[in-house]
Structure 1
Amino acid sequence: MGSKGSERKASKGTVQIKVSNDRLQLVFSFGGKRHYLSTGFTDTKANRKLAEMKARQIELDILCDNFDPTLGKYKPQSLQIIPTPPITPVEEIVPSLVDLWDSYTEYKRSGLSPSTLAKDYKKIYRCINFHLPVKTLDKAVAIRDWLIANKTPSSAKKILTQFSACCNWAVKSQLIKDNPFKDMASDIKVSKGDKEETDINPFSVEERDRIIQAFKDSRYYNHYAPFIEFLFMTGCRPSEAVALQWKHITNDFSTIRFEQAVVISESGLTCKKGLKTQKKRIFPANNRLAALLKSIKPDAVSGEAKVFPSPEGTWIDAHNLSTRGWKGVIEKLDGIEYRKLYQTRHTFITMALKNGMDVKDVAKLVGNSPEIIYRHYAGQSRELFVPEF
């Protein structure tokens, strides 16, 4: 980083912080051009830290080929292309929630899964940038009131919890003096009816077999028939089935090793090691499942090859398949209520319990705890009756 008043020419990708017209300015070179970006900040200790955060973000984007040549990404709220409106020299800039969330995300990035970044953190980013009517920390109460008025209690509570965590980090980083969102989330009471419940609505054996056959008969989606049947036969998560490679299946098709998952990341679909609740698990194939795998395995296939590739040979986009192919096929089947693709997992677990499998064994096969199986499935897997007494 350049220091105050430094005139040393910055090397490519290096962002200097200078003072121009009593305002902190970011100076850097990219694409053969020299860029001068005014922060609008007066040169105080707190404002210099904010400028340093933005400088680090620009340097990281240049290094990772994510640089925004329009500079729009680097000017949320507090940054403006020079010239900037005159500000009283002693005025302290009110930190923007936009800037703090960007910096907090970069700080947390290395410890977060790609799917958490792409889904949870991106959702907060969109809420801040495109929905909140105000975005500065001095308007924290107004932000809370807007969330309560426009989100469910559960969603508002989650967002305020994230805002508070972000500001706690900013306080520890000496970027702000206090956390204006402290304890706001705890004030929101979520009723039992508002909490997200596990949506377990399994298919019957007849419905399962009709769905599998419908995919086999489909003109547009028959490519996915083995994938759908595999989900029903194993109860694995769709992300785990997508990530399967032939090296994960024994040569005699008797055993399947789940040890990775394909998830949505900021750059698209990516394969990550490990599963949602464990590093790996072994699944023994019954005769039907073994026959299915044997029927789809190409001759002389590489162990790195995908068991269930997309028609283009890439990872299957399970979300896209669910919202298009899965939904389209089921909606054409008379007498079958539409349910999400994840119900293939619930169907397997429910059928396994109904057919007398031990709860602990089922939990081990699908990568859940016995407590979860007892809580969500065991009560639904059998009909209750009162004996004669």
Structure 2
Amino acid sequence: MSDSKDLLPSQQDPTDLPANQVQFALVISRMLDTVKEDPEARRQMVYDLARYKLQEQFTYADAKNIDQMKRALEVAIEEVEKFSRETAPLERLPSQQLTSSKETGGLLVSGDANVSPWGIGRPRSKPPAISGSLLPVIKRTAAILLAVGAVILIVSQRDNIAALRRLVSSQAPEIALVAPKPETTIAVAKPEMVTAVAPPAKPARVLPTDYGIYALIDDQSLAELNATGIAAPDIRIAISAAFKKPDRPHLPNGRVKFIVFRREAANAGPMRAEVRVVAKVAREYSNDAAGKTPGGGDDVGVIRNFAYPFRVAPIPATPEMYDIHASDPELDLPPGHYVLSLGTQSYYFQVDGQITDPRQCLERVVATTGTFYAPCKNARTY
């Protein structure tokens, strides 16, 4: 150590033991104070002690190795000193929170920890907890303070409380004299029982019970049609062969519908149907007689190529029946004679009324080259 020379008394008599003791005590005390406040001096003291102990352990027999061991000790001292200088900021700032890696060497230290040379932080001691025996005393004190505050409040407001009591006492008789209002009775009329009126039942559809071809009259009754015995010719043929018209049925109006009831209808019902005009032959001209009435009279008719299209629709739950109705819902056939053409057969019916349609009347001319038909010219009613 650099201060070790101070142990040698200067200007002092070596034989004066009391004086030497005082001198030694002063020097040692001064050295201890220096070491306590200066970490570097403390390290130097340890280094000097290590050098002294190393020198003390060697004998004259080991003199050849002493230089090598001293060099090793000095290298070790240099490394320790280097490390101590790098960690010196931690020793000088024990109460600050060090967050910079440059200052702490990558170590984060909390502000409430004491930094020691070994890098171990000790947390600050917690404040002492309140003893459990003090809680009852605190509670009683708080209750007493609340009671005293309530008494002080009542005393300070006693005048206001007395005035309030007098006011309530004076208003009590007035409240008793007020007659109660009669109860209001609200009459609630009982709602009349409303009987729900069921809508009128839809009338059952009129359906035939026997196989046949029927005309539906105003959706209320059926009239069976009779077959003419001939098929309606191709639409490109103007007039069919003459046939005798049946005497029924007669329909009251031209809004016609039909129902077909056949055994084979479920498998071979037609897709379309048509109504053809039937004309009566009013006069006949031939070489024998001119303008005579045909032998059959008004009962003779021919099927013309004037047609009204009708459509076919199935009747639910009755696979052997189907409905035939006009393609035009507004169709109303004029009075006259007609046939319903279904495949190879035609069925006659007549719409009642005064016949004025010129298509309903023809005149026949019989010549050697054939029979010819022409529209009626003179008659207005057929």
Larger Rg: 2
Which has the larger share of helix?
1
Q: TM-score, length-normalised on structure 1? A: 0.18
Q: TM-score, length-normalised on structure 2? A: 0.18
Which has the larger share of strand?
2
